[in-house]
Amino acid sequence: MEYVDGEGTAASREAIGAHLVTCGTCRAIAAEQRDLSETARAWTVDAPPSSLRPPAAPVARGLLTRAGKWRPSRVALAVLSAAAVVLFVVSVPMRQQRVAPAAPAPAISASESAPRRAVVQGPGGGGGGAAGGERAAQLDSIVAGVSQSVAPRTPAVIRTATLRIVVKEFDGVRATVEGIVSQSDGFIDHMTVSGDTTTARTLRGVVRVPGDRMAAALARLRQIGQAVEDTQGSQDVTDHIVDLDARLVSARATEQRLKELLQTRTGKLSDVLEVERELTRVRLDIERLDAEKTNVGRRVSYATIDITISEERKAGLEAGPLPLTTRIRVAAADGLAAALESVALMLLFLLRAGPTLLLWGVAVAAGWLLVRRLKGSSA
């Protein structure tokens, strides 16, 4: 269709044109597509038949005039009144049996209804008559049921906390943190311990605990040492989860409709390939939405605690890891090596610049002697 409608890139059009020269089947398909395009351009709507026009005004006025002049007799009035009473008595019980209290229709957002209408109408834009109505009713029931089942009943909140603690005894800190996380039915996302006996040691990590046990876990972590930073935060993602559920329902309904089209499609190969490409795209969207919903649900279920525990170091003179005599020998060796390096550098400088300096020294001395002789002769 791109080639027939004059669209597509120049390279693709040249390739298709070269293929049409040698393939009679494809030339027939291209001619058929051109005929369809020409027929669609030339098609117009016919004028409505005369039977659909409203009746003339004088006829209606005459009927109203006749109806206004009619005067019913007493017998006719009695018969009409009796018939009305009998009809009322018979119709009231039947209406009570047939009419039942209707359940309130579930609210469907615009994001759900628009894709559902697109799926029901299909690629051509029509509803398909009775079959389209049946499909629309089925999708309405599916969307309503899933919307009621997936709607969250309680707010979905992502909880986070940041805790910095300073301790005097650092040796058992890691085991204490691991015990608190294990007793809270949580897990350690990652944890790192840095430093040695000569420097201040630090524990950094991120732990995850159930949201309803976050307060208890923080209370026990604060007992490890002195808290110098204690920050908590939360984020309400209820609307985001509702939006993800609605988009998943719409995407699954679209996938089901595309599967039905693929099973019943008996047209051209290009149409089948187009449906398969659209089905692949919809499946990728469903997997992405599922993964995003799972990630958000995990963050809602487990609170995140960013913890940093540092060792308190007392002021004092550090002797260092090496003895004093060894450090003196190392310093002397370093001084001797620096002296030898300076001598070597000076020797290399003289070797590189000595000839040039000697040449300029001889030239300066000769000039000085020449000046002294000229002064002596003039005197």
Q: Please give the pLDDT value at position 101.
A: 42
Q: Are residues 162 and 16 in the same domain?
A: no
The verdict on 31 and 162 lying in the same domain is no
**Residue 310: strand, helix, or coil:** strand
The answer to whether 310 touches 166, Cβ cutoff 8 Å, is: yes
β-strand pairing of 302-311 with 226-236: unpaired
**Contact between residue 236 and residue 156 where contact means Cβ atoms under 8 Å apart:** yes
Tell me which residues of the chain have a pLDDT lower than 50: 59-60, 99-132, 143, 146-147, 149-152, 314-319
pTM, two decimal places = 0.41
Residue 77 lies inside a defined structural domain of this protein: no
Six token digits for residue 273: 């390939």
pLDDT number for residue 136: 53
d(CA 177, CA 198): 23
Count of domains observed in the chain: 2
Q: Is residue 323 part of a domain?
A: no
Half-sphere exposure of 179 (CA within 13 A, CB side): 8
Same-domain check for residues 164 and 310:
yes
The torsion of the CA quartet 320, 326, 331, 335, rounded to 10 degrees, works out to -170
Residue range 185-214, pLDDT digits in tens: 888 888 888 876 667 788 889 989 998 888
Is 351 among the domain residues? Answer: no
pLDDT of residue 162: 92
Spatial CA neighbour of 196 closest among 320, 334, 30, 340: 320
Asked if residues 140 and 113 have their Cβ atoms less than 8 Å apart, the reply is: no
Nearest-angstrom CA–CA distance, 293 and 328: 65
Contact 225, 168 (CB under 8 A): yes
Alpha carbon of 236 to those of 148, 151, 217, 302: distances in Å? 20, 15, 21, 14
> How confident is the model at residue 193, as a pLDDT?
86
Q: State how beta strands 202-210 and 187-194 pair.
A: antiparallel
CB 230 within 8 A of CB 163: yes
Domain-located, residue 169: yes
Instruction: Tell me how far apart the alpha carbons of residues 211 and 159 are, in angstroms, rounded to a whole number.
Output: 7
pLDDT of residue 73: 66
Are 159 and 305 in a shared domain?
A: yes
Task: Provide the pLDDT for residue 342.
Answer: 92
Q: Looking up tokens 């027929």, which residue turns up?
A: 39
Q: What is the pLDDT of residue 206?
A: 92
Q: Is residue 359 part of a domain?
A: no
- 290 and 163 within one domain: yes
> In terms of residue numbers, what domain contains 271?
154-314
Note whether residue 19 is domain-resident.
yes
Contacts of 170 (CB under 8 A, 6+ apart): 201, 203, 309, 311
96 located within any domain: no
User: Quick one: 181 and 309 in the same domain?
Assistant: yes
Q: Where are the alpha helices (DSSP H) in 99-237?
A: 110-121, 129-150, 173-183, 214-222
Q: What is the DSSP letter of 121?
A: H
In a domain, 246, yes or no: yes
